[in-house]
Chain A
């Protein structure tokens, strides 16, 4: 594994070589400069990531702040931050500032007025976050918050200060590096996406199947309050974009009865995206849920009160993060709140949209599992598909689909944006994206179809569909739409190729399932020659007569009036 260079600097001595720093060494090549060389470190090595540990008391004395008005204080802090601003202007590499302004102060002296020291600390925080809003490379760690968990007095050590120039205690140094490690990890590692919760012993105390809904430990005071706060913490994660799931060895009706009837339940059915409540092994159930959500198991975090279940999960699915929790449930709410696993630097609208897509997908899988039969289930989806033109507004999504779609992809042509742009303007191309909505939500543009035309013959250059809408027969709708558009253009023969990429087996039978037949004509056939002119063919070639084409499953879709794409309209006229 290639280690990235991390230049470390600070105003306090940071004790390079201390055991605490070993935590970073597997992933980062730590480079400590000379003591207190932070201003020059900011100016050099812009290609490296940088960590600045800012102990405010090492750069500003309380005496220097006495009598400063707001403007003078800002000037002093601006001077302090000038090297950092220079660094951020010169480098887009991550710059982490871990700062602490803690110093012992009299509670009495600050009982009626904010001390000048506290004013400086608050102003520094404001300026740092203002800078972070402008500079995406800047990552901030409020050490006083990170160290407070163990008590700030234990995080600092005057013995170390006077003996070695280091303000931190051994423990404080360890906690600081732990916080830095968490932030640095998020630079290279995506957050976890799913929190899988056990029910008995986690969401509530006792076993609902044995004591009944009325006697589980939930709400009120004591442990019941702790279990309720566990639910609140989980719900906060859920509302911030983490997907919540249940894996419980229980009778499903008992669990849902608690959700529906217990007055102190915080989580609702709507909070839960996926669940397996049965007597099967939880590892197998997590594998199933991962398939439903189309997520890798490395995106899952498992929380169970039973050490035996945790150990089984670790052995069966080491890629799942199994939380080690203390037996004392009262510690769990703050443990969940403090987890770095799901945290992200910024919550973007794309993240929220993505989370909603996973919810939709899980809801689809759950409904499908519970349906009496496949066809009535699909018929009840209220599916509405619509084609949208390949043009400047859809180019980026088309490129994304072409680049990322592996499973339902007939030829896995990775068209670039430039290629797609050229196609969008070509009269010899029919190209459109397909949007789908159903009762589980708006799935957005999930299909891309591109056909090349030469007189009465066309070749299906691209036919792909996002895996998140597989199983709905949207491919049938896309094919029918293409057939309509091609017939309008006087095309009778549609040729297509299945090119095996090793990952697109799900698309292997789509052609024969929709009326195509393996091409068996002579190479000299004029249509075959036309196809050869349109595209190089590596795989099996198929053909269908559009005048004879009858596409199945179209009754599953509402049938909006055909909407010619803008480029097609132009081409036809």
Chain B
């Protein structure tokens, strides 16, 4: 099985034209393209990539990469 891309790589995949900050906490609003709609699409991409499903509450609460990584870890999925 090919290695799964990192959450940051998925961010670049979802927002191919965006300039993603190289340091600091990454969360909704970190760059202009990452708005609420973009975030919903991003979470669906994460779901597809890691074969998980977030609840409607999680879709509302998971705002940053750290939170998403923690939610994945809670399902036994390690995401870099």
Contacts and interface: CB of A to CB of B under 8 A. Distances in A.
Contacts of B78: none
B45 interface: yes
Interface string A5-28: 000000000011111000000000
B75 to A, nearest CB: 16
Contact of B60 (A16, A163, A170): A163
B30 interface: no
A195 to B, nearest CB: 34
A19 B40 contact: no
Interface in A151-201: 159-160, 162-164, 170
A15 B59 contact: no
Interface in B31-80: 37-38, 40-41, 44-45, 47-48, 53, 55-56, 59-60
Given A170-B47, A170-B48, A19 B41 contact: yes
Interface residues of A, number: 11
Contacts of A170: 44, 47-48
A159 B40 CA distance: 11
A19 B13 CA distance: 9
Given A16-B37, A17-B37, A17-B38, A159 B59 contact: yes
Given A17-B37, A18-B41, A19-B41, A162 B56 contact: yes
Contacts of A162: 56
A164 B40 contact: yes
A257 B45 CA distance: 54
A18 B15 CA distance: 10
Contact of A17 (B41, B47, B56, B60): B41
Nearest to A162: B56
A251 B38 CA distance: 59
B21 to A, nearest CB: 20
Main secondary structure of the interface of B (DSSP, over half): helix
Nearest to B38: A17
Interface residues of B, number: 14
B11 to A, nearest CB: 13
Contacts of A15: 37, 40-41, 44
A16 B35 CA distance: 12
Interface in A482-527: none
Contacts of A17: 14, 37-38, 41
A15 B47 CA distance: 15
A159 B54 CA distance: 9
A170 B59 CA distance: 14
A128 to B, nearest CB: 30
Contacts of A159: 53, 55-56, 59
Contacts, number: 32
Contacts of B55: 159
A16 B38 CA distance: 8
A17 B37 CA distance: 8
Nearest to A171: B48
Interface in A1-58: 15-19
A163 B44 contact: no
A209 B53 CA distance: 52
A17 B41 CA distance: 7
A18 B41 CA distance: 5
A16 B41 CA distance: 8
Nearest to B48: A170
Contacts of B59: 159, 163-164
Contacts of B45: 19
Interface string A307-347: 00000000000000000000000000000000000000000
Contacts of B47: 170
Contacts of A164: 37, 40, 59
A163 B40 CA distance: 9
Residue picked from B37, B38, B47, most chain A C-beta under 10 Å: B37
Contacts of B53: 159
A563 B69 CA distance: 87
A160 B37 CA distance: 12
Contacts of B56: 159, 162-163
A10 to B, nearest CB: 14
Contacts of A19: 14, 41, 44-45, 48
A51 B60 CA distance: 30
A165 to B, nearest CB: 10
Nearest to B15: A17
B41 to A, nearest CB: 5
B28 to A, nearest CB: 14
A164 B43 CA distance: 12
Contacts of B38: 17
Contacts of B60: 163
A418 B45 CA distance: 60
A18 B47 CA distance: 13
B53 to A, nearest CB: 8
Interface in A119-173: 159-160, 162-164, 170
Interface of B: 14, 37-38, 40-41, 44-45, 47-48, 53, 55-56, 59-60
Q: List the 9 closest pairs (A to B, CB-CB), nearest first.
A: A163-B59, A18-B41, A170-B44, A163-B56, A17-B41, A164-B40, A159-B56, A162-B56, A17-B38
24 contacts: A15-B37, A15-B40, A15-B44, A17-B37, A18-B41, A18-B44, A19-B14, A19-B41, A19-B45, A19-B48, A159-B56, A159-B59, A160-B44, A162-B56, A163-B40, A163-B56, A163-B59, A163-B60, A164-B37, A164-B40, A164-B59, A170-B44, A170-B47, A170-B48
Given A15-B41, A163-B60, A164-B37, 19 more contacts: A15-B37, A15-B44, A17-B37, A18-B41, A18-B44, A19-B14, A19-B41, A19-B44, A19-B45, A159-B53, A159-B55, A159-B59, A163-B56, A163-B59, A164-B40, A164-B59, A170-B44, A170-B47, A170-B48
